[in-house]
Chain A
């Protein structure tokens, strides 16, 4: 039953114009970065910066607005013999799948053409994971907020925090705590931000961690190992599972 809901949501979104615009802009930017940025490695660095800003933003804003635009139909479906969790999980998976499709077309294709390396594939993989993470957070904002304006506002705040503010907080804390051993603290702070985790996972593949200074070499030691990558993946999985679980918990009790 859930698959039936996923199917209609994906079909509906993929027939719209916005998702094509998203894929098109990403495609144009990727080709631009790879063609005019010098070699493939530089292209990937450029693409990484772009993806870390744009993917969370689009996933958050698109998902929240989609939820509010579908609210009347979600209400009609909730009045059918369907469980609320099935209904909303289907909605979330549908939106995430549509965004992932656009992402694969927009950056997956150029990466396969210009940089079919491990780094390139890791970049694609973390972008897909970030899409799912921020779709989950968007739905959480949407079910918690009372109206569309608050929901979209909350989504923008989430983006602002994770894309921009968290790094500042991290630096400030590390500066305050410089007398203490930094490994555990910085690892903890990075784990609190899925965007940072994604960035570190890609940079570690690029062998440019020497450029990242002391923390960079430290991170290489902490996260560059098999255990480190498993840890980072587990944290990202938690970044998907926890918001989704919380969203379903709230939605099951929500008055529509």
Chain B
């Protein structure tokens, strides 16, 4: 469904994505993990065409995401930091987004709006909202147009446990409907709940891309955090070990 071929992006001397080639399909929930600066956010931003790659291809069901703004009608995006115009009321914000998306989607999905009781804060202006409430609004906006590809950047950061659970449930339901979910999170225990696969990046290159269930079965560990931490230590140790001389 979503395919990157030799996707490359450099910022000055820093190589954020180094010829990344990967293919993700519907029904998956892929967690992007890796150390800071590994290229997770850059990859997400390329998918949304917020960042323009230097070279490479990025396609959604075969159509290029890079020169086709209309394709973004199939994507829902929840940014890491949601900030809205100070004096816009929450109700007006939803109205604005509906008008921008008018005619580009078949149906809307208002489950989350109801679960988070957004109607209660519809009259509040955006600048009076707390950080967590802004995250809820962002999540509702990302899911509102029933997207085929859902992109979540640190979705549970700042959410209270109950809201985080509601969002997790919703994302699982979306994935079960055959949609593709692409997310980043620093909280690995959250990913355990949401993700089906892990895409591990280091310095813009793919280290591995595997189903979580397979990793668990192989390592005998039940917690994703342990498995990933083990792999990161292994990767660091490999990097430090001097190259063995050829026999």
Q: Which residues of A contact B (CB under 8 A)?
A: 1, 4, 8-9, 11-13, 15-16, 69-70, 72-73, 75-84, 253, 255-256
Give the residue name and chain of the B residue nearest to A7 (CB): B96
Give the residue name and chain of the A residue nearest to B70 (CB): A81
B85 touches A1 (CB 8 A): no
- How distant is the Cα of A16 from the Cα of B72 in the complex, in angstroms? 32
How many interface contacts (CB-CB < 8 Å) are there between A and B? 76
Contact of A79 among B48, B84, B104 (CB under 8 A): B48
Contact of B104 among A4, A15, A81 (CB under 8 A): A81
A12 touches B86 (CB 8 A): yes
Would you list which residues of chain B between 57 and 95 have a CB under 8 Å from chain A? 69-73, 75, 77, 79, 81-88, 92
Q: Which residues of B contact A (CB under 8 A)?
A: 11, 45, 48-52, 69-73, 75, 77, 79, 81-88, 92, 96-97, 99-101, 104, 125, 138, 141
Q: Which residues of A contact B82 (CB under 8 A)?
A: 72, 76
Q: Which residues of B contact A83 (CB under 8 A)?
A: 69
A256 touches B83 (CB 8 A): no
Q: Which residues of B contact A255 (CB under 8 A)?
A: 11, 45, 50-52
- How distant is the Cα of A75 from the Cα of B84 in the complex, in angstroms? 11
Instruction: Tell whether A8 pairs with B79 under 8 Å between CB atoms, given A78-B50, A79-B50, A255-B50.
Output: no
Instruction: Tell whether A15 pairs with B87 under 8 Å between CB atoms, given A81-B69, A83-B69, A255-B52.
Output: yes
Give the residue name and chain of the B residue nearest to A71 (CB): B83
15 contacts between A and B (CB under 8 A): A8-B85, A8-B88, A8-B92, A11-B87, A12-B87, A73-B83, A78-B48, A79-B48, A79-B49, A79-B75, A79-B79, A80-B72, A81-B71, A83-B69, A256-B50
Q: Which residues of A contact B83 (CB under 8 A)?
A: 72-73
Top 10 nearest A-B pairs (CB, nearest first) are: A15-B87, A72-B83, A81-B73, A12-B85, A79-B48, A256-B50, A79-B77, A81-B72, A255-B51, A12-B87
B93 to chain A, nearest CB (A): 9
- How distant is the Cα of A78 from the Cα of B73 in the complex, in angstroms? 11
Q: Which residues of A contact B71 (CB under 8 A)?
A: 81
Instruction: Tell whether A80 pairs with B101 under 8 Å between CB atoms, given A8-B96, A255-B50, A256-B51.
Output: yes
Q: Which residues of A contact B97 (CB under 8 A)?
A: 80
Q: Which residues of B contact A70 (CB under 8 A)?
A: 85
Contact of A4 among B45, B48, B99 (CB under 8 A): B99
Give the residue name and chain of the A residue nearest to B79 (CB): A76
- How distant is the Cα of A178 from the Cα of B202 in the complex, in angstroms? 66
